Every structure is written in structure tokens, then in C-alpha cells.
Amino acid sequence: MSSWFTEAALPLSKDGIKISVKVTDVLFDEQSEWAHLQVFDTAFFGRMLAIDGIIQVSESDEFIYHEMMTVLPSIQYGNPKNILIIGGGDGGALKHSLRVNSIEQSTQVEIDNTVSELCAKYLPKVSEGAFHNTRSRLIYEDAYNFVNTTKETFDIIVLDLTDPVPDGPAERLFQPEFIRSVKKILAPSGIVMMQCGSLLLQPAEVKAQLAEMKLLFASARLHTAVVPTYQLTTFGFIMASDQPLSVLDEVEFNTRLANIQDNNQYLDYSMYLASMSLPPYLKDQIL
């Protein structure tokens, strides 16, 4: 028998709407040390993970989100050698980072190993063996501690975090103090990439995070993509660096795209340009 899963309220979200998804099977529903984890088969999105009542990933369109989070900054950078993924327990960011030919090591720091184990078992299409790749390094600890104690630097740092739910484990990872620590372990020409929520439902969150990154970095730019799993709305991504973030021309973009294994399913040059454009009504709310 089918039922409906109604997503919990998003942080800083507008009132008056809830998102419900038709569930055809409940595969997992338990509390880990850190969060309430649920895996569903759904009629629309296929297999899906929710953490603390908020949808995190689905097999149907994970490629959109993860190409924006990992492939896009890799193309912008050129030939990154190493990448740090903070969060990303489902393994999708890790998988797509390994598509970058120049990457020698992809390090993932995730607080909850249960998430990775769960996704490897129930959502294997998201990671597709990335957890066992020889270029992958998996570290299960509090990212706050890792960032403040590591002596390494990284060409790209991806903040693939759950929403900043009050008193949740990700809340302090959105704060300026943590971002300043992230900046200290970024290579001089490095890029930070982070998700910043739904532009339609969470414009206050998007605006606040973009303003913060513009204060902390010399360059910060908002990119967007429609990721259906995330409330069927335009979703925000912030790219930041202390080097100028030039807009690549088509020749340069496609030259750098040759560093990416396999064909992107979402990101090409036209979508790269489109991701930097906003309609006036969203500009008025966010910029």
C-alpha cells in the first residue's frame, strides 16, 4: 500500500506550503546517533533519502545537484589535484569528483558513517562504488574538528551539508567562524562550493549565505539549477574564491570539460551560462 511522506519545514522557509511525496515502500526508518534516517521508494523520484524529515537525495536527479557541486567548480578551477568534501554522506559528490581526471585524491569528511553505509546499501546508484575507489579517502569525524586541525590544503572544498536546522549537527558549519577556518585550508587559487537552499522557498537563507560569502571571500557568485528533488524549485549554489571568478568563454569551458570523464547529464556550456542568470523577481529578493 502506498502512503505520503510530507517533508519537514525547511530552515528560514516561507510559510504556507508543504511538500508531499507518494511513497510506495519504506526501506529504512531509524534514528542514528546524529539524525533520523529514512529511505523510501517513491512513485515520482524513485529511491530517496530523508534526514530529519528533509529530503536529501534521490536516484532520479542526483546528477544535477552533484554536477553543480563538484564538476562545476572543477571546470572553473581547471585541473584540481585534490578535493575536500564536507558532508556528502550519500557518496554522490564523491562519485562525481572522481570523474575529474586530474583529481589525485578526493577526501570526504562525514560525521555519520551510518549515512554512508545506508546509502551504499539502499541507494547504490548514487555512489556507484566511489566509497571503494583507490583515490577516495573517507574520514568519519566532526568536520569542525577536521578543518581546524588538518595541515593539508585543498584546491576545491565542497560544503555538501544538510540544512542548518537549529541545534542540528550542520548548523555551526554555516557560521562565519567555520567558513573562515575552511578558507585557511584552501589553496591560494582554490574554490569553495556550497549549497544554499531553494530560492523560491528560502530566499532569506540564500540572501544571507551569499552576503556572508561575499564578505569572507574576494569573489563569490550565485549559481542555480532546478533540482526536482528539492521542492521542485530553483536551487542555489555559491562559488567562492579569493581569486577572480571569471566567466569562461565556450572554448575555454569545453577545453576544461575534457578533464571530466564521461558526459555530463546536466552541465554544458549553455547551462553554465544559464546558472548565473536570475529573473528580476528573484534578483529583487536575493541580490
Active site residue ranges: 160
Helix (H) or strand (E) holding 200, with range, is none
Residue 237 makes CB contacts below 8 A (sequence gap 6+) with 68, 69, 72, 193, 194, 195, 196, 222, 223, 224, 225, 275
Residue 34: name the closest of 121, 115, 88 by CA: 115
Angle ∠(88,93,99) on CA atoms, nearest 5:
155
Which grid cell sits at 12? 528560514
Angle ∠(159,161,165) on CA atoms, nearest 5:
140
3-state secondary structure of 26: strand
